[in-house]
Amino acid sequence: MTPAPAASPEDQDLSTTEVPPSHADNSEIANETPGPDSEGDISVDSAGLKGWWKVFASTYVTIFLAEIGDKTQVTTLLMSAESHKPWLVFAGAGTALICTSLLGVLLGRWLATRLKPRTLEVGAGITLLIITIGLGWDIFQGI
Amino acid sequence: MDWSLIGLSFAAVFLSELGDKSQVAAIALGGSSKYPKAVFFGTSAALLTASLIGVLIGEGTATLFPPQAVKSVAALGFLFMGVRLLWFGDGEDDGAETTNE
């Protein structure tokens, strides 16, 4: 079975990830991120859109479940209880959470420009397994 | 407007989240995914919902979301994503899947 027709922009995306690292330095995000420039692509290419939502949904669900009842949430909860101004606490906490996520993703992108794609995948995979073990430990400890 | 309260909650949450598992996950997923923006929006939205629920229902969160059960599902989710990355490389590579459709 031959894979999807060569026209698929995904194939091009994959091939750009194999470009030698030296090339990656200045082209950073433009290199493989489906940034604003590729929004046209996304609307044309429903597979890309589907992939986008799949990543969004899987990230959302996993992080949500990992974080609910976690220490940040407890901090927020205590602060809003003490201050009786839950919305102000939420405003501060929410901004902080957006900032830390943004920093995380940007750091990941930066690493992506430095490392070989496969190295990055293995590193990311191992990192996720370590998080799994951490969560397992939490569960084991009765949280 | 109580700016010091906003600042305090910002600082408290920012510091406690720095290097925490969701940020580490954002680094790992954002770096390896073809859709880093989806990772960013997914992570932020999840964290915002979780803290919104904390603010809205406070102590009731633990009853509505029994921590051990919820964390078990999360652990399975991370396990799945990690194994997928190690085994198949770019996990959400829909190129492979669209061939089936």
Query: pLDDT tens across A7-22, in order?
Result: 444 444 444 444 444 4
Distance from C-alpha of B80 to C-alpha of B77, rounded to nearest angstrom: 5
| Chain B residues lying within 8 Å of A142, measured CB to CB | 68
ipTM for the complex shown: 0.84
Under 8 Å CB pairs connecting chains A and B tally to 348
User: CA of B65: how far to CAs of B54, B59, B73, in Å?
Assistant: 11, 11, 11
Alpha helices in chain A (DSSP H): 9-16, 21-32, 39-44, 46-67, 71-83, 86-114, 117-140
Location of structure tokens 């899947």: B97
- Tens-place pLDDT, residues A19-57: 444 444 444 444 444 444 444 444 557 888 889 999 999
What is the rounded average pLDDT of the residues A104-120? 94
Confidence at residue A143, expressed as pLDDT on a 0 to 100 scale: 53
Mean pLDDT by 10 residues, chain B (101 residues): 88 90 94 94 94 80 84 93 86 41 32
Closest CA to A100 of B32, B38, B2, B11: B11
Q: Is B32 within 8 Å of A143 when comparing Cβ atoms? A: no
Distance from C-alpha of B65 to C-alpha of B58, rounded to nearest angstrom: 12
**Token reading at A47:** 């597979």
| Chain B residues lying within 8 Å of A8, measured CB to CB | 95, 98
